[in-house]
Amino acid sequence: MTTRRNVLITGAALGLSASPLAALAAEGEGVTDTRLAKLLDAFVVEILADNPQTASSIGKDKGPRAALKRRLDDISTGGRAKQIAGYADRAKRLRAIPRAGLAGRDLTTYDTVLYAQDVGAEGGRFAYGKDYANPYVVSQQDGTVVNTGEFLNAQHLIETEDDAEAYLARLEQYGPALDQETDRVKDAAGKGVILPDFLLATALKQGQDLRAMDAGATRLVGSLVERTKAKGIDGDWQARASAIVSQTVFPALERQVALLKSQQTRATHDAGVWKFSDGADYYRWGLKYNTTTNRTPAEIHKTGLEQGAEMDALMDGILKGQGYTQGTVGERMGALTKDPKYLFPNTEAGRREVLAYIEGSIAAIRPFIPKFSKLGLKAPVEVRAVPKEIESGAGLGYMNFAALDGSRPAIYYVNLKDTGNWPKYTLASLSMHEALPGHAWQGAYLAERSSEIHTISSLMNFGAFIEGWGLYAEQLADEVGLYAQDPMGRLGYLQALRFRCARLVVDTGLHDKRWTREHAIEWMVAATGRSTGAITSEVDRYCASPGQACAYKTGHNEIVRLRAKAKAALGDRFDLRDFDDAVVTTGGTPLAVLEGVIDRYITGTRKA
């Protein structure tokens, strides 16, 4: 799944913050044109000033920006308006630099940033949603209850007493953030934007479950207490944090829970955004934002059906070779999903086994890295279970990129609410996607080679590129021989590809063709053989984030197409490692920009 850093093409500030540009000396690296470098430095100042949580997530909340560590993002209506205005303003300033005078990485960076601002500004015409990509301010997978606690736990680092005080300062803002959300949920409802009843029930329960806890027993308090104790930082952290939760967080949470509860009588069972007054336009923009292409819902739906059939044929051959001959491919995969010999016990011990198995899969791919890259990255990865308090609404697996300053490695989260969602043969491919050579590898370039690329690249998160690379990484693992002696592992890899094809069909089905949630679940279970529980979680995710599920296969298809183009153009001079590195060293770019990058790579290789 896409990285969970929630800043995508983010931020908005029309003027410079008080932070001195001199503090950004290292951030101007990676761009040779001095005018462009200066402007991008200014963009970074603006974006981080308005997105302090992003500053922490990438390790840019230190030195002259230390004050950012005491703030949460402004998610108010005014903050959203400021964000939208910033997109148009930055695009205008960027266009003042003549594109014709740029070349190489400068040109790629220019095109990438401009695309991001234009798409963000375009999305501002939809007057609802948490941000640029999610139509619901609060859902089972988005909002302060779901995201902020884990942000404080995993991304707000505590090394000193000042860090602990900063944690408390942020905790003080948790309640006001909830109230900001509640006001926006109320405003969105006035425009007819209310969660489907099944998502509303989950989001409501998440809030109620948190409120039912004793303040001192919440993770909001426990994370601070445990980490200060581990670092030997003295202080009355338990009492102070508990007081904030009981006196500030819980009252605001009660107000949000009450509002969500009041909306249950108005919520419908309609799963797709087609139900909004401008839902068709919103979904087309959502596809553009998520796929960074102009492909239509009909085109994407057709691609999913056609490529799904191709995957079925490949899987059928392996299944027959393993003695599974009866029923459709989906039916046979469904039987395998329930086969006890491939399952881990649904116990705490079994969950530890899953994490250990994943760590083994990551270790197994490392010797193959020189076959697909010359970059020589270290790419450390930490594997964690999704916190229990958010696992009901969280995705099945996702990645947080490493901090740019090396203070935190990449964190790979696995949802272990039910180990039945993770047959052993599925875990290697998942780990190739989330860890190596997927998200953690791509993110490691940003962290370990920061002098080669401008910091602005770490503030843009193009789902089609990131998820497309993750899916391409699964293919690389197969191509370099990871599954040479493991047919079931290769079957898991093909099932993962088949799963992404199905996403194209289901996402467009829900939001364009007006599929019901039940039909989407039934169709996807039959097509992929995944468990009903896993597919229900997936479909609910698609309902909350229209178009996001289409990023994976669309991005993968484009990377594979461009690789074929490069092979045809270069013949014997084509080197897989050089192609892969040309993609990764963009730092992440829209698919609409990537072809130009590969064309320049082809030209450069011919001249070499």
> Lowest mean pLDDT: which of 113-117, 120-124, 541-545, 553-557?
120-124
Residue 132 is predicted with a pLDDT of 57
Residue 130 is predicted with a pLDDT of 63
Q: What average pLDDT is seen over the chain?
A: 92
Residue 453 within a domain: no
Burial of 248 (0-12, 13-18, 19+ CB in 10 A): middle
Helix residue ranges per DSSP H, 410-550: 424-434, 439-448, 463-479, 487-511, 517-528, 532-544
Residue 396 is predicted with a pLDDT of 81
For 121, 174, 437, 470, 477, the CA distances from 370, given in Å and listed in that order, are 41, 45, 11, 17, 12
> What percent of the chain has pLDDT above 90?
87
pLDDT at 38 over 90: yes
Residue 205 within a domain: yes
Burial of 608 (0-12, 13-18, 19+ CB in 10 A): exposed
Residue 297 within a domain: no
Q: Which residue has the higher pLDDT, 12 or 187?
A: 187
pLDDT range class, residue 371, cuts 50, 70, 90: very high
Token pair listed for 431: 């780990």
- Decide if 250 contacts 258 (C-beta within 8 A): no
Report the run of H or E that residue 410 belongs to, with start and end.
Answer: strand 410-414
- Decide if 596 contacts 111 (C-beta within 8 A): yes
Token pair listed for 13: 């500030």
Taking residues 315-334, report their average pLDDT.
Answer: 95
pLDDT range class, residue 534, cuts 50, 70, 90: confident
Residue 119 is predicted with a pLDDT of 94
Residue 144 within a domain: yes
Residue 191 CB contacts under 8 Å (≥ 6 apart), including other chains: 127, 128, 277
Residue range 185-226, pLDDT digits in tens: 999 999 899 999 999 999 999 999 999 999 999 999 999 999
Residue 131 is predicted with a pLDDT of 63
Residue 128 is predicted with a pLDDT of 73
Q: How far apart are CA 528 and CA 546, in angstroms?
A: 20
Residue range 553-596, pLDDT digits in tens: 999 999 999 999 999 999 999 999 999 999 999 999 999 999 99
Residue 549 is predicted with a pLDDT of 96
Q: For the chain, how big is the Rg over CA atoms in Å?
A: 23
Q: List residues bridging with 381 in a β-sheet.
A: 410
Taking residues 62-89, report their average pLDDT.
Answer: 94
Residue 314 within a domain: no
pLDDT at 25 over 90: no
Q: How far apart are CA 18 and CA 123, in angstroms?
A: 28
> Lowest mean pLDDT: which of 373-382, 391-400, 500-509?
391-400
Residue 466 is predicted with a pLDDT of 96
Residue 243 within a domain: yes
Number of domains composing the chain: 1
> Lowest mean pLDDT: which of 123-127, 435-439, 555-559?
123-127
Which of helix, strand or coil describes residue 5? coil
Taking residues 424-453, report their average pLDDT.
Answer: 94
pLDDT range class, residue 19, cuts 50, 70, 90: very low
> Lowest mean pLDDT: which of 197-201, 327-331, 389-393, 421-425?
389-393
Which of helix, strand or coil describes residue 546? coil
> Lowest mean pLDDT: which of 130-144, 329-343, 490-504?
130-144
pLDDT at 16 over 60: no
Whether the predicted model's global pTM rises above the 0.75 cut: yes
Q: In which residue are the tokens 């740029």 written?
A: 102
pLDDT at 1 over 70: no
Q: What is the DSSP secondary-structure string of 317-377?
A: HHHHHTT--SS-HHHHHHHHHH-GGG---SSHHHHHHHHHHHHHHHHHHGGGGGGT-SS--
Residue 246 within a domain: yes
pLDDT range class, residue 362, cuts 50, 70, 90: very high
Q: How far apart are CA 549 and CA 540, in angstroms?
A: 11
Q: Which residue has the higher pLDDT, 373 or 129?
A: 373
Taking residues 270-286, report their average pLDDT.
Answer: 96
Residue 75 within a domain: no
Residue range 407-418, pLDDT digits in tens: 889 999 999 999
Residue range 40-52, pLDDT digits in tens: 999 999 999 999 9
- Decide if 405 contacts 59 (C-beta within 8 A): yes
Residue 406 is predicted with a pLDDT of 84
pLDDT at 461 over 80: yes
Q: Is 35 left (phi over 0), alpha (psi -120 to 50) or beta?
A: alpha
Which residues constitute the domain of residue 162? 140-194+197-267
